[in-house]
Amino acid sequence: MKGVQGAKKPLQTHKIKIPIAKPDIGEEEIQAVMETMRSGWVTQGKKVEELEERFAKFCNVKHAVAVSSGTGALHTALTAIGTKNGDEVITTPLSCIATANPIRYLNAKPVFADINPTTLNIEPVEIEARITRKTKAIVAVHLLGHPADMDPIMEIAKAHNLEVIEDACQACGAKYKGRTVGSIGHMGCFSSYVGKLITTVEGGIITTNDAELTEKMRSLRNLGSSKQEKFHHPLLGYNYKMSDIHATIGIVQLKKLGKYIRKKRKNVLFLNEKLQDLKIQLPAEEKYAFNVYYAYHLLLRTRAKREKTAKSLENQKVETRPLFSFIPAQPCYPEYRKSIRECPRAREIQERGLYVSNSPRLTNHELEYLASALRRAVSES
């Protein structure tokens, strides 16, 4: 990495703080927001439409529907395909809990399938083993920016007449065999929360090639309203609209996404090179994948080593997070305790994993410090 090797300035470690999220909101976003506010129209309008058109084109799909969050995107998508009380939806146990919560909002049952220990994504053979006559859909998460193995998932879905929703909330711009995530399943759901690949501060986007589903989701996000008649509600909908102010930020951010991804991949190459001799699992990329590396994660050998590593990093002013939730063990999921035994790989990996920042705003100096801090933390554990 240019400028990293042979740095002349001494590392002033007592002054460095590396937070998990370091969003890139600059003058262009500020000016765009000001213009939108001066326009007199700040709620859902032309800027939302523009973001939807640009995002659909980026993902190589026909339609995109902007909503207020990634959770709202998943909830809307699941509602649009008719998910109801008694249905089962197969998904991963290792993710942000927002992956599974919308299934339960609809009184359906999340069915957890174990993961691949390398990609940390849902394993297709585990999906097939859990299909029953009640199965409605599969929610495949592209965790930490690495695409799930989608071809076998789509084959399984076709054989059993199931819908596939890609949870691409951490993977905007990632590719599977050259195809952009969000264009492979029947729908793709993205988050544009402040810590994601691009941000609208709060927000989400759903992608699809299905025109009928698109119109249904646009109604659902707006209280189930009819396009033809004011205050007429054919559907029981939600208030999941995105404002033009949020969309305006997203339009600017989308222009920067390619630059962000290149920087994130460059960061990972640098850190992996610095840490490759340590006896830990570092971020990687399968041959079929183009990984956008949402964050920089480590898998330690034991939970105790993870905790010691996290404590050491905290002392070095590097913020960490555990490797998301093992959802079946969450206190608000008491009826899913059986799934703990059925997903041993996900449980074990969640206990051993943590992640740190992979912000595109990390400087060379910060990357040098981060590499040094990680090495020290792992060695001390």
Beta bridge partners of 4: none
At residue 12, does pLDDT exceed 60? no
Question: Strands, E, within the chain: which ranges?
Answer: 63-67, 88-91, 94-95, 109-112, 135-141, 163-167, 175-176, 179-180, 187-191, 204-208, 289-290, 296-299, 321-322, 325-326, 353-356
Give the model's pLDDT for residue 7: 43
Query: Average per-residue pLDDT in the chain?
Result: 95
Q: What percentage of the chain has pLDDT greater than the value 70?
A: 96
Tokens of 55: 């995002």
Average of per-residue pLDDT across 248-262: 98
- How far is Cα 99 from Cα 124, in angstroms, rounded to an integer? 17
Architecture in CATH for domain 27-251: 3-Layer(aba) Sandwich (3.40)
Q: In the CATH scheme, what is the code of domain 13-23+257-380?
A: 3.90.1150.10
For residue range 302-334, list pLDDT tens digits in order.
999 999 999 999 999 999 999 999 999 999 999
Give the model's pLDDT for residue 15: 62
3-state secondary structure 2-52: CCCCCCCCCCCHHHCCECCCCCCCCHHHHHHHHHHHHCCCCCCCHHHHHHH
With CA atoms as reference, report the closest residue to 32 among 18, 46, 21, 19: 46
Radius of gyration of the chain (CA): 21
At residue 21, does pLDDT exceed 90? no
For residue range 174-218, list pLDDT tens digits in order.
999 999 999 999 999 999 999 999 999 999 999 999 999 999 999
Average of per-residue pLDDT across 77-102: 98
Report CA-CA distances (Å) from 111 to 88, 161, 167, 256, 338. 6, 17, 15, 37, 11
Give the model's pLDDT for residue 13: 42
Tokens of 22: 């370091």
Average of per-residue pLDDT across 49-76: 98
Q: Which positions ≥6 away from 150 have C-beta within 8 Å?
A: 140, 166, 176, 177, 179, 184, 185
Q: 4 pLDDT band (50/70/90 cuts)?
A: very low
Longest CA span, the chain:
68
- How far is Cα 164 from Cα 156, in angstroms, rounded to an integer? 10
At residue 3, does pLDDT exceed 60? no
- How far is Cα 340 from Cα 346, in angstroms, rounded to an integer? 9
- How far is Cα 200 from Cα 244, in angstroms, rounded to an integer? 10
At residue 278, does pLDDT exceed 50? yes
Three-state SS at 130: coil
Is residue 276 classed exposed, middle or buried when 0-12, 13-18 and 19+ CB atoms within 10 A define those classes?
A: exposed
For residue range 126-151, list pLDDT tens digits in order.
999 999 999 999 999 999 999 999 99
With CA atoms as reference, report the closest residue to 202 among 74, 323, 95, 71: 71
Q: Are 320 and 302 in contact (CB under 8 A)?
A: no
For residue range 96-117, list pLDDT tens digits in order.
999 999 999 999 999 999 999 9
Q: Are 207 and 61 in contact (CB under 8 A)?
A: yes
More confident residue, 79 or 16: 79
- How far is Cα 341 from Cα 133, in angstroms, rounded to an integer? 23
At residue 80, does pLDDT exceed 70? yes
Lowest-confidence pick of 12-16, 31-35, 307-311: 12-16
Average of per-residue pLDDT across 40-63: 97
The predicted model scores a pTM of: 0.94
- How far is Cα 275 from Cα 184, in angstroms, rounded to an integer? 34
At residue 72, does pLDDT exceed 80? yes
Domain residue spans of the chain: 13-23+257-380, 27-251
Average of per-residue pLDDT across 71-86: 98
Average of per-residue pLDDT across 42-48: 97
Q: Which positions ≥6 away from 255 have C-beta within 8 Å?
A: none
Beta bridge partners of 94: 326
